[in-house]
């Protein structure tokens, strides 16, 4: 996990130096879902504002008036992070089905694929890309003619991305986090200039569920070979439509920077654990990470069976277990065909009502505790 100081430096750096570049050539305006694509075409406003104004009328408040939302302030988006200490635990399956459960009941849902190194949520549902942008950072370029070899930049770089060789400073591009500190401390006006580096892309698309209901999806995709995945994930989360009543993030597995970036700012986390000794080992790490971030958490045990130690450990730790979804070969077969298990096996959907109820209870408890 990223140390807090470094994470803060990076967050501050990102806000100062991150850039988004419109990739209008990737947009498909033939959306069958709704008018979001049309409103996104209003070039007089920044993209974020255009998206918001397209979705705001008749959003969550309207649904709440129909009595479907009773548990929280309908003007606030509930951000749910689906995370796991271990890859292959079923996190994506659970994120998808939970999103579908909310969408079926009239919630305005946005799915965020925060697994930027291997995003695959979009493979499960037909969708239309309505906006795409590059995520870029400003990296330093050293002009050897003007470098006086004082070493100030090397000493100031928190990421060891600069070094001296041959009496001049050099940049190790792959380590640079684009924070801009080196340019600030350099005593020479002309020794350091900055150039834009593409670190990934963010796409926003409209997706259609099997019953025809539409939702939004944002996908973070890191450029292969770069280490700036957290910046790309943060950009995708920021690009999510703000009028959604529910935001579900499919986080990167593990407990490193990418997982932390997906969880940051979430209202609650659902940690998916496989019912195996490996699953339990990695769940402990994920719980530690989530508690360090101060995010309320609960657990879903996936592919549960004879190994009961995961549930027992959660009980010992006073962690709520929202559901124990049994191992089912049929679910794995549907998943392997790239479809939603709940579409072919309607009984499977019952677990997601249970998980929703558990999230409501968790959030009620947190609200009561914070009063
Ligand atoms: S090289 Fe400069 S911009 Fe890159 S991380 Fe180091 S101080 Fe920041
Ligand atoms: S701070 Fe500027 S002048 Fe000093 S070593 Fe770095 S690039 Fe050269």
- Could you say which DSSP state residue 173 is in? G
What integer best gives the mean pLDDT of the chain?
Answer: 81
Residue 168 resides in a domain: no
- Mapped onto helix, strand or coil, the DSSP state of residue 296 is coil
The pLDDT tens digits of the residues spanning 132-161 come to 999 999 999 999 999 999 999 999 999 999
Q: For residue 336, what pLDDT band results from cuts at 50, 70 and 90?
A: confident
**Mean pLDDT confidence for 7-34:** 39
Q: What is the pLDDT of residue 227?
A: 81
Q: What is the pLDDT of residue 92?
A: 93
Residue 193 CA to residue 122 CA, distance in Å, equals 38
**Mean pLDDT confidence for 284-299:** 96
Residue 4 resides in a domain: no
Greatest extent of the chain over all pairs of C-alpha atoms, in Å? 71
The domain of 252 spans: 38-133+209-370
Residue 20 resides in a domain: no
CATH number (domain holding residue 236): 3.40.50.300
Mutational test site, ligand 2, from 139, 140, 141, 147, max ligand atoms within 8 Å of CB:
147
DSSP codes, 88-105? TSSHHHHHHHHHHHHHHT
Paired with 325 in beta bridges are: 302
Residue 308 has pLDDT above 90, yes or no: no
Residue 250 resides in a domain: yes
Residue 6 has pLDDT above 80, yes or no: no
Residue 107 CA to residue 100 CA, distance in Å, equals 9
Q: What is the pLDDT of residue 261?
A: 96
Residue 150 resides in a domain: no
Q: What is the pLDDT of residue 259?
A: 96
Q: For residue 61, what pLDDT band results from cuts at 50, 70 and 90?
A: very low
Residue of 4 and 119 predicted with greater confidence: 119
What tokens appear for 371 in the block? 């009063």
Q: For residue 369, what pLDDT band results from cuts at 50, 70 and 90?
A: low
Burial of 211 (0-12, 13-18, 19+ CB in 10 A): exposed
**Mean pLDDT confidence for 192-219:** 94
Q: Check pocket membership of 177 for ligand 1, CB cut-off 6 A.
A: yes
Residue 262 CA to residue 120 CA, distance in Å, equals 15
Residue 179 resides in a domain: no
The pLDDT tens digits of the residues spanning 23-43 come to 443 343 333 333 333 333 333
Q: Are strands 127-142 and 19-22 parallel, antiparallel or unpaired?
A: antiparallel
Q: Are strands 162-165 and 168-171 parallel, antiparallel or unpaired?
A: antiparallel
Q: Check pocket membership of 140 for ligand 1, CB cut-off 6 A.
A: yes
What tokens appear for 30 in the block? 């033939």
Residue of 252 and 45 predicted with greater confidence: 252
Half-sphere exposure at residue 358, Cβ-oriented, CA atoms within 13 angstroms:
23
Residue 223 CA to residue 134 CA, distance in Å, equals 10
Residue 12 CA to residue 10 CA, distance in Å, equals 5
Q: For residue 72, what pLDDT band results from cuts at 50, 70 and 90?
A: low
Protein residue closest via CA to atom 6 of ligand 2: 153
Q: What is the pLDDT of residue 178?
A: 93
**Mean pLDDT confidence for 97-118:** 94
E strand intervals along the chain: 19-22, 78-83, 109-114, 127-142, 162-165, 168-171, 192-208, 214-222, 246-251, 268-274, 297-304, 321-326
DSSP codes, 53-82? HHH-TTSHHHHHHTTS--SS-TTSPEEEEE
Q: Check pocket membership of 171 for ligand 1, CB cut-off 6 A.
A: yes
The total domain count for the chain is 1
Residue 367 has pLDDT above 90, yes or no: no
> How remote is the CA of residue 15 from the centroid of ligand 1, in Å?
14
Residue 146 resides in a domain: no
Residues with CB under 6 A from ligand 2: 142, 147-153, 169, 185-188, 191-192
């Amino acid at each position: 996990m990223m140390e807090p100081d470094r994470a803060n430096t990076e967050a501050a750096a990102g806000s100062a130096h991150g850039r988004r570049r419109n990739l209008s050539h990737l947009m498909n305006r033939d959306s069958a879902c709704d008018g979001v694509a049309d409103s996104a075409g209003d070039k007089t406003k920044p993209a974020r504002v255009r998206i918001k104004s397209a979705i705001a009328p008749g959003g969550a408040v309207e649904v709440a008036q129909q009595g479907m939302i009773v548990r929280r302030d309908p003007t606030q988006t509930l951000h749910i992070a689906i995370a796991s200490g271990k890859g292959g635990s079923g996190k994506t399956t659970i994120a998808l089905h939970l999103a579908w459960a909310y969408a079926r009941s009239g919630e305005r849902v946005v799915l965020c694929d925060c697994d930027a190194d291997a995003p695959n949520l979009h493979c499960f549902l037909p969708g239309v890309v309505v906006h795409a942008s590059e995520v870029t950072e400003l990296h330093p370029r050293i002009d050897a003619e003007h470098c006086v070899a004082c070493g100030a930049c090397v000493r100031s770089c928190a990421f060891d991305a600069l070094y001296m060789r041959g009496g001049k400073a050099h940049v190790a591009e792959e380590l640079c986090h684009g924070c801009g500190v080196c340019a600030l401390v350099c005593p020479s006006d002309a020794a350091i200039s900055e150039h834009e580096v593409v670190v990934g892309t963010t796409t926003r698309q409209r997706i259609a569920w099997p019953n025809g209901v539409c939702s939004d999806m944002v996908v973070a995709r890191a450029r292969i070979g770069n280490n700036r995945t957290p910046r790309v994930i943060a950009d995708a989360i920021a690009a999510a439509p703000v009028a959604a009543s529910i935001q579900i993030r499919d986080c990167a597995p593990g407990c490193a920077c990418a997982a932390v970036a997906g969880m940051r700012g979430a209202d609650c986390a659902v940690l998916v654990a496989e019912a195996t000794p490996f699953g339990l080992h990695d769940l402990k790490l994920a719980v530690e990470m989530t508690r360090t971030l101060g995010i309320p958490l609960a657990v879903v045990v996936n592919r549960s069976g004879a190994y009961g130690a995961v549930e027992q450990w959660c009980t010992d730790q006073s962690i709520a277990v929202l559901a124990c979804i049994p191992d089912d070969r049929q679910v794995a077969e549907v998943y392997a065909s790239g479809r939603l298990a709940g579409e072919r096996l309607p009984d499977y959907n019952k677990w997601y009502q249970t998980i929703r109820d558990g999230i409501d209870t968790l959030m009620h408890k947190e609200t009561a505790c914070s009063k």
